[in-house]
Structure 1
Amino acid sequence: MTLYSAAASSTTTPVESSEEMRFEQYLEKLQAEARQAGISESTLQAAFANVEYRPRAVTADRNQPEKKLTLDEYLPRAVPDWKVKQANELYQKHYDTLQRIGQQYGVQPRFIVALWGVESNFGRFTGNYRVIDALATMAFEGRREAFFRSETMAALKILDEQHIALDEFKGSWAGAMGQCQFMPSSFLAYAADGNGDGKKDIWTTEADVFASAANYLAHFDWNDEFTWGRQVRLPATFDYTLAGREADKAKDLQQWQALGVRRLNGQALPKLDKALPAWLVLPDDTNGRAYLVYGNYNALMRWNRSHYFALAVSHLADKIR
């Protein structure tokens, strides 16, 4: 396992040498755990042959922006006009495939395309870290060791099942992979064959990307009879303790209407034939936008527990026609 070049090793400090040794020892523990989990020796030998500690992954994990963007600042950057244009073009290009997959899983195709666009810019940016490097590094770093050890085992299983070649097994600094940026455990649980060729290729096959994204949402109770939610206006006397996505804070639209919540333009909330549970969320607390969101929004939050992410996907989906 090569961590540093021979030239660099001559100038390695005692601290760096100690870190290298500890990482090597940690990799041995990961391999032992993988053997117990049934990963083949050939996969282990190949996967760990040249594992490198990637300090940039640790830096990326720890790095926090000096100034947090507000939602009003974030959304134009996350959903610029050029991305909206591309989303609509790609929606039309893959229309037949998207309609078939959308009907199969009960997910509106515009949300599939929006996830694709927000996650990887429609497959253009999928990460250039070797997945085993990234996951082993993050597990060794220790802040979320159990999570990343588990993801490392899942990644090794993906290699063992030959879903992808080792030299093509790349992703983000956190180990998220492919055009839908699945973590390895999500791949094993939700990746789907979208074109019937017997493979689950989220790296290069758009139909599999679409089916995998739709399958994930379907597993978290997506309902294609409804959308994700809407931005709303609150009365001056609104009780902000009612906000939140806890189960006991759900109300139907007419209950929110009675509390003074209105559409952004001031008009009454829709009257539906079916009761639709809705939650009030305030991504920037009481200082910014307010949204009434539905169960589909909660499914997006399972994908990525960020209101900004879920709203970027939702707003892009709203602009796809």
Structure 2
Amino acid sequence: MLAALVLAVLVLGGSVVAGSWSPASANQQPFDAWLDGVRQEARDRGVSDRILDASLTGIKPIPRIIEFDRSQPEFKLKADEYLARVVTQGRIEYGRRLMERHADLLDPISRQYGVQKRFIVALWGIETDFGRITGGFDVVTALATLAYDGRRSEFFRKELMFALEILEQGHIAPKDMQGSWAGAMGQSQFMPSSFHNFAVDQDKDGDKDIWGSLPDVFGSIATYLSKSGWRDDITWGREVSIPAGFDKSVIEKETRKTLPEWEALGVRKVGGGALPGRAVEGRIVEVTQRNGSSRYFMAYENFETILKWNRSTYFAIAVGTLADALAAR
């Protein structure tokens, strides 16, 4: 689920010269010998030699993937810059057309999982531009590269095993399992472990196809949110204003209060309107703009659920902002 962060990348610091990379682990075991261990572990987990031969034969570490992993940039964009790049008018308009075009799919999925369809479409749009940009790396090779490297080998080895099990289960052919440099896959950009936990066969054809089946893509996104605590009786949050002299320590401490309690402290909708009167709990999130000024958002429970998908505050605000725009006319 790294595609949304890629949208914000401006600079890659440092480099790894092709051919000069060596694994970060103190164990300098040759890759082919290391891969033999992967094969045996996968066999022990029920992966057939047919799948292992099809997915592992002849693969080599990709230095460019290590460059990406070791050179992940500092987050240089401010909130207004990030939102301007991610929540564009073109994306809003295209998303509205797609939400209408696929209403026959989205409406029953929304009811089944208790997730408003605008959030399903917003995540789809921000992760892969509605399925248009899903990554061009072979997932098994990418994960093997990162698992062999040693910096986060335990995590990526587990993801590699899940990926091989997905292939064994027949959800996708080895040659078609494409994704990001870090192994995030399909139109929902699930890591293999997320696929294992949340992917569904919504169209009932026997495969959980988050690459090519829109029912499976939408159902899997909705399942992720639903199982992660989504509430369909509230939205994600909203932008707010705070009064002069407001005690910002409550923001730093991530203090949660009900909307009437925040209202009593002088918090208002942007423009001065009263907050909703429901006793919904939220916390105030502060983000900085390029000119140094701050914007404030009241974050509800669903905001926290979006953060389980991607821990970036900007990402969660962008998803909510796009979802609101998709619903607005």
Show the 5 A alignment for 1:172-321: 172-243=180-251, 249-272=255-278, 275-284=279-288, 287-321=293-327
State the 1:26 CA deviation: 2.6
1:243/1:280 contact within 8 Å kept = yes
Q: Could you tell me how far apart the structure 2 residues matched to 1:88 and 1:105 are?
A: 21
Deviation at 1:87, TM superposition (A): 0.1
Alignment partners' CA distance in 2, 1:228 and 1:16:
43
The code of the aligned residue for 1:99 comes to: D
Match of 1:97 in 2: 105
Determine which of 60, 84, 109 is the counterpart of 2:68: 60
Distance 1:183 1:66 in 2: 22
Q: Could you say which residue in structure 1 is the equivalent of 2:6?
A: none
Is 56-65 or 296-305 further displaced after alignment? Answer: 56-65
Larger CA deviation: 153-162 vs 253-262: 253-262
- In the TM superposition, residue 60 of structure 1 has moved relative to its aligned partner by 1.6
Give SS of 1:231's match.
strand
CA distance in 2, matches of 1:115, 1:268: 29
Letter in 2 for 1:300: I
Q: 1:245 to 1:32 in 2, by over 3 A?
A: farther
**TM-score normalised according to structure 2 size:** 0.87
> 2:93 is aligned with what amino acid?
K
Of residues 78-87 and 194-203 in structure 1, the stretch that sits farther from structure 2 once superposed is 194-203
The aligned residue for residue 4 of structure 2 is none
CA contact (8 A) 2:59 2:141 kept: yes
Aligned residues: 305
Map of 1:42 onto structure 2? 50
**Distance in structure 2 (CA, Å) of the matches to 1:290 and 1:150:** 38
- Note closer, same or farther for the CA distance 1:63–1:288 as it changes in structure 2 (3 Å cut): farther
Contact 1:217 1:299 in 2 (8 A): yes
Residues 253, 269 of structure 1: 8 Å contact kept: yes
* Structure of higher RCO (CA pairs closer than 8 Å, 6+ residues apart): 2
| Cα shift at 1:21 | 6.2
Question: Structure 1, residues 30-55: CA drift from partner, whole Å, max 9, x if none?
Answer: 22322232322222222210222111
Cα distance, 1:244 vs. partner? 5.5
For 1:97-155, what per-residue CA distance to the aligned partner results, in whole angstroms no more than 9, with x for missing partners?
10010000000001111111000011111111000111111122222222111101110
**Residues 60-209 of structure 1 aligned to structure 2 (within 5 Å):** 60-65=68-73, 68-209=76-217
Q: Is the Cα–Cα contact under 8 Å of residues 112 and 210 in structure 1 kept in the other structure?
A: yes
Q: Please tell me the residue identity of whatever aligns with 1:62.
A: R
Equivalent position amino acid for 1:23 in 2:
F
Instruction: Give unpaired runs (5+ residues) of structure 2.
Output: 1-17
Q: 3-state DSSP class of the match of 1:188?
A: helix
Percent of residue pairs bearing the same amino acid type: 47
Q: Tell me, in whole angstroms, the C-alpha distance in 2 between the residues paired with 1:141 and 1:18.
A: 4
Aligned partners of 2:170 and 2:207 also within 8 Å = no
CA RMSD of aligned residues (A): 2.3
Shift of residue 16, structure 1, vs aligned partner = 6.4
Return the alpha-carbon distance in structure 1 between the equivalents of residues 172 and 166 of structure 2. 7
- Equivalent residue letter for 1:239: D
User: In structure 2, what is the Cα distance between the partners aligned to 1:38 and 1:292?
Assistant: 47
Separation (CA, whole Å) in 1 of partners of 2:111 and 2:252: 31
Q: State the shift of 1:67 in Å.
A: 6.8
